[in-house]
Amino acid sequence: MKRFLFLMLMSLPICGFAHDLSGDLGESASATDYMMIYCSADGSITADKLYFQLSNDSLSPAPLVSAQIAKNNFATNVTDLINGDANSSRVAEVAGGEGAYRVTINKNGVGKASYSFVYHCESNEGEHAETTDSTLQNN
């Protein structure tokens, strides 16, 4: 039975491809990482939004980590409220269409913090669209 399920799963088309990044914020309370995530058309799939979910990978005590995602007139903030647990922040979706999304990662105090996040561009129907990134500042 396990072999049958494995073969069935291997034959399914993969519709969503998540991307992930991780980083560290330095000791200073003002340490901030800044990056751009680019969403574009992938064949017949048009990018409508950016999916984003943040994890604070630091053990307590450490500052909380937040992310701000913005494009044009659309913006949101997410925070992982418990350091080092298995749960991430809520899912954020910013519906800015194709183009560059600005992502800022910061923390709420002094002390080093580690984070990771999952992201990908999606169509209105949740299909994966072309997703690339570029780090602009790493503190």
* Consecutive 10-residue averages of pLDDT for the chain (139 residues): 33 51 93 94 88 91 94 95 88 94 95 94 89 80
For the chain, what is the total number of helices (H) and then of strands (E)?
Answer: 1, 9
Query: Per-domain residue ranges for the chain?
Result: 16-130
What is the C-alpha separation between 26 and 125, in angstroms, rounded? 39
What local confidence, expressed as pLDDT, does residue 2 receive?
37
User: Residue 6: what pLDDT?
Assistant: 31
Give the number of other Cβ atoms within 10 Å of residue 101's Cβ.
26
Topology of domain 16-130, CATH? Jelly Rolls (2.60.120)
pLDDT at 138: 78
Could you list the beta-strand ranges (E) of 7-137: 19-25, 33-40, 49-56, 65-71, 74-80, 92-94, 99-107, 113-122, 130-137
Give CA–CA dist 49/97, Å, rounded. 5
Single out the residue of 25, 21, 84 nearest to residue 53, CA to CA: 21
CB 35 within 8 A of CB 133: yes
